[in-house]
Chains A and B, each alone.
Chain A
Amino acid sequence: MDLTRRDAVAALAATGGAVAVGRTLLDDDQSADATAADADVPEDALATLVAVAEVVYPDAATGVDDFVETYVSGRVADDDERRAGVVDAAAELDATARDWFDTPLTELDPGTLDGMLRDLRVDASDPDPNGGIPGRVRFYVVNELLYAFYASPTGGRLVGIENPIGHPGGTESYRRAGMEDHG
């Protein structure tokens, strides 16, 4: 299942983040390249998020890097507090990887990264924007990524719903007897 920038925009539409970014993309897919540059999220933070997404997304997901970059960029544009939260949490994760494995997070193999997140108890922690490292990573990194994925029609379809809650997917889908084919 291939994730696209368009999917990221669909997920963004649910959050109200960076409507402008989304609109440009929907109007003209060609302009998609502009987004990451506009977004003001440091490259290394984006790379960290992509690496975590590879772990928390199902194996069937491809195109993760573009999807995550577009989503996160849109998400934090016009929201300095969220941007700071995301960037700090990513930096802390990367620092942990360097600490524990003497390696930047992006160079860990997925199994090791998965284990690191679990050892940090990110899987079992309540998301908390003001909490300790596991709570903040859960909130700003893992849940942000899962939200982008499962609130978008593509992620939803994988589960069996093309209009997941939080997505303004029109009022037709609730009447259909089965999932619409990809459209």
Chain B
Amino acid sequence: MADAAADRTPAPRADACVVGAGPAGAIVAARLAEAGHDVVVLDAGPRFDLADREEQLDAHLRPGVEGLWGMGGERDAYATEGPRDYPLNAARVKGVGGSTLHWQGMVMRLHERDFAMRSRHGVGADWPLDYADLRPHYAEAERELGVAGADDNPFAPPREEPFPLPAFPPSHSDAIFAEACESLGLPTHSVPNARNSEPYDGASACVGYGTCKPVCPSGAKYTAERHVARAEAAGARVIDRAPVQRLVHDDAGERVEAAVYATPDGTEHRQDARAVVLACGGVENVRLLLLSASESYPDGLANSSGLVGRYFMDHCFAGAGGRIDRETRQNHVGFNTTECHALYDGTDPLPGVKLEFLNYAGPSPVTQALDADDWGDALLESLRESYGTHLAVGGLVEQFPDAENRITLDRSTTDDHGNPVPEVRWSIGQRTRAAIERANEVQVAILEELDAEIDWVVGPDATGPAFHHMGTTRMGTDPAESVVAPDCRTHDLDNLWIAGSSVFPTGGAMNPTLTIAALSCRLADRLDGWL
């Protein structure tokens, strides 16, 4: 970890202060700095040294070593309320690079229907943009993240540009699934991955460590540290361990003047800036706005609509797995190479469903050996028995926006700086439950087609979140119905911009980060013009 004694004093007034160094903030920072602006980035967490990644891999594989990215503890305290617990500290990383330090790295474009669910189907919300508006930015985002992909998905929205890197060839078990899916009329195709299939952007090609989530020692998996490095190379200042406590606005309540942040020695500093970009992820964006309540904004900053924190969405996991009478060759790599969007755009079910064919089903001999309560020949025999024939098909299911699912402050609990912690209220509606059941039916049918002995099914009662925090500062044209305008600037404050999936009005069932990156490219263009 980087030097605790680094200089964390504020810069003189900056053009832009970016709060949060995950992909949303780091892309904006890199692009603005490269356009010649003075940029300061503040992140709540530490920098992690690239040289420690192999140690971290070891720590991950070997039971008895504490978490890799310092998730949890008083700094990250939170509360959950409502029908389902939400495991927030498994779902985000505070550190330079943000949650991409830990993420899986699957990156797809949203489909055209995702932008128009209300007008097409009378549910959810429309985006104030459509796919065509975002399409050039998607292409930029794919270059920014170094996406390996192929134009072989018959369901994907139209694209003109090739992917920057060739797709990873399908795994052996993908071929087993492809056969079964074909007989069920479900075409399979490649997965776009933010992971180098060839050396790219100064980073190595994937070498198959198989531990992508939570750590890639080779640097082949994209993390936002790449954009942080680019921002710094272009002159941006990046201050780690600098959690922003609140934003301060001018007397007129029209502009944010500064971000007040704390440093490890307990001092508070004030970073003045002409523009502030909030990029703390879907939960902390809300908390910071609520913590910045003032006389002019008693309900929190940028919250004259009363919607800050509402419409919290995630993607729900559905899956099934078992064993077949063939070698499946799982657990060589830690990422997927094939998926299926055939259920995505129809009306049965209406919530989007994306199927994923997992390359890491069943136990890995390494971790199983370390957890076993036997050794010698008996251990070898049990490893042989467990390894080799597992298969699983997972999937993400869309959740429509619901105003009652929301992030608020729990004033009875405070973090290490004495600030109220976020409280997550999350529930799963009827339509999502039904769509999870539908996904399960298809998953089970695929496994049955392979004569699998099915060991597990994760359905609506056992489902959990995919850790995609969306919807809490939604985008729209009407200030009464949304928090930010289509350019990602808040309706209430002239110079406050929000980056990340908190601005998504609906979330589809595609992993969100490519769309986050596309919106960040777009935001940076607009802000560059504005500055």
Contact = CB atoms under 8 A, between A and B. Distances in A.
Chain B interface mostly: loop
Contacts of B366: 147, 150-151, 156, 164-166
B369 A163 contact: no
A29 interface: no
Interface in A158-183: 158-161, 163-171, 173-178
A55 interface: yes
Nearest to B61: A166
Interface in A5-54: 14-16
Contact of B375 (A139, A142, A151): A142
Contacts of B388: 159-161
Contacts, number: 154
Contact of A143 (B63, B168, B210, B218): B63
B65 A129 contact: yes
A60 B366 CA distance: 18
Contact of B54 (A16, A147, A176): A16
A128 interface: yes
A34 B367 CA distance: 31
B170 A169 contact: no
B208 to A, nearest CB: 5
The listed residue with most B CB atoms (<10 A of its CB), out of A14, A126, A168, A174, is A174
A146 B368 CA distance: 10
Contacts of A143: 62-64, 370
A123 interface: yes
Contact of B373 (A123, A163, A175): A123
B383 interface: yes
Interface stretch (B177-185, B234-242, B329-337, B517-525): B329-337
B207 A166 contact: no
B251 interface: no
B217 A16 contact: yes
Given A14-B57, A161-B365, A166 B209 contact: yes
Interface in B185-214: 205-211
B373 A15 contact: no
A88 to B, nearest CB: 16
Size bin of chain B's contact surface: 35 or more
Contacts of A74: none
Interface in A107-158: 114, 123-124, 126-129, 135, 138-139, 142-143, 146-147, 149-151, 155-156, 158
A90 to B, nearest CB: 17
A126 B63 contact: yes
B171 interface: yes
Contact of B208 (A146, A160, A174): A174
A165 B61 contact: yes
Nearest to A57: B376
Contacts of B55: 15-16
A95 interface: no
B369 A150 contact: yes
Contacts of A174: 171-172, 208, 329, 332-333, 359
Interface in B352-377: 359, 364-367, 369-370, 373-377
7 contacts: A16-B54, A156-B365, A156-B366, A159-B383, A160-B387, A161-B332, A163-B210
Interface of B: 53-55, 57-58, 61-65, 168-172, 205-211, 217-218, 327, 329, 331-334, 359, 364-367, 369-370, 373-377, 379-380, 383-384, 387-388
Interface of A: 14-16, 55-60, 114, 123-124, 126-129, 135, 138-139, 142-143, 146-147, 149-151, 155-156, 158-161, 163-171, 173-178
The 8 closest A-B pairs by CB, nearest first: A16-B54, A127-B64, A174-B332, A165-B210, A56-B375, A168-B207, A58-B380, A159-B365
